[in-house]
A and B are shown apart, each in its own frame.
Chain A
Amino acid sequence: MNNLLLFEFSVNKENNTVTVTREFAASRDLVWDAWTKPELLDQWWAPRPYRNKTKKMDFRVGGYWLYAMISPENETHWCKADYQKIEDQVSYSCLDAFCDEEGNINVAFPRSQWNNRFSDNGDNTTVAITVQYNSLEDLEKVIQMGFKEGFTMGLNQLDELLQTVTTK
């Protein structure tokens, strides 16, 4: 529970954009790695109790990340991010989608445009994320997908809390 780290969240309904800004207590190269290397992404990308599993990662312009979010009941959601622009250690943008195991895009679900920017902030790193959907309806659809169980804030949150308390 890092109350000291900045976390801003806003939704602009004019252009269907969600903006999230978050500060992390680590240098920019580490934070960049955590967002771009599959073995690290798999450790945090899926909100618990889901887990994340990368099938393919090709972090290059024109490349993509193909991964699954898996529920405790082994219900699997395949997702894909197509990388469009990369400025090493500074920013990258991609187009995300739901898909099947082979990476064939499921057109029934909305895609969104991501842009993530990394900047130094003393010893910390600030990540500014913008996610743009085609419509507000799209945004809602995404929320309703597969995360229903993910909201059980109960026990696993407590686990995390205890963990942070004991490491301090």
Chain B
Amino acid sequence: MRRDVFQAIADPTRRAIIALIALQAMTPNAIAEHFDTTRQAVSKHLRVLTECDLVKQEYQGREIYYSLQIEKMKEIDKWLSQFRKIWEKRFNQLDTVLKTLKTHKK
């Protein structure tokens, strides 16, 4: 199943994991050491992040290393900037309306 990236980052623990592995690739054990949750819970979070392509796995010998997919994070930024654009447009329109109101008032 293809997961929704926004659902993935809606969880605070998953966001913390993203912040951790943004700096360097890490094994699940190393990641789990940073959290009070069980190793199982961390694995589950990693699975969600992998399923929506935010995180990629790489095998080095017998160890799995998790690292961040930078491109996917950019997609989220793009979405937010679109949201911002809607507002910018609205507000520029409102500026025009207010300008007209002011001249009528005078």
Contact = CB atoms under 8 A, between A and B. Distances in A.
Contacts, number: 85
A162 interface: no
A11 B93 contact: no
Contacts of B9: 13, 136
Given A22-B91, A47-B89, A14 B80 contact: no
Contacts of A20: 87
Interface in B78-101: 79-80, 82-99, 101
Nearest to B98: A26
Chain A, interface SS category: mixed
Interface of B: 4, 6-7, 9-10, 12, 15, 79-80, 82-99, 101-102, 105
Interface of A: 1-2, 5, 7, 9, 11, 13-14, 16, 18, 20, 22, 24-26, 30-31, 33-34, 40, 43-48, 135-137, 139-140, 143, 147, 150-151, 153, 160, 163, 167
16 contacts: A25-B98, A26-B98, A30-B101, A44-B94, A45-B90, A46-B90, A47-B86, A47-B89, A135-B7, A137-B4, A140-B6, A143-B82, A150-B89, A151-B82, A153-B85, A160-B92
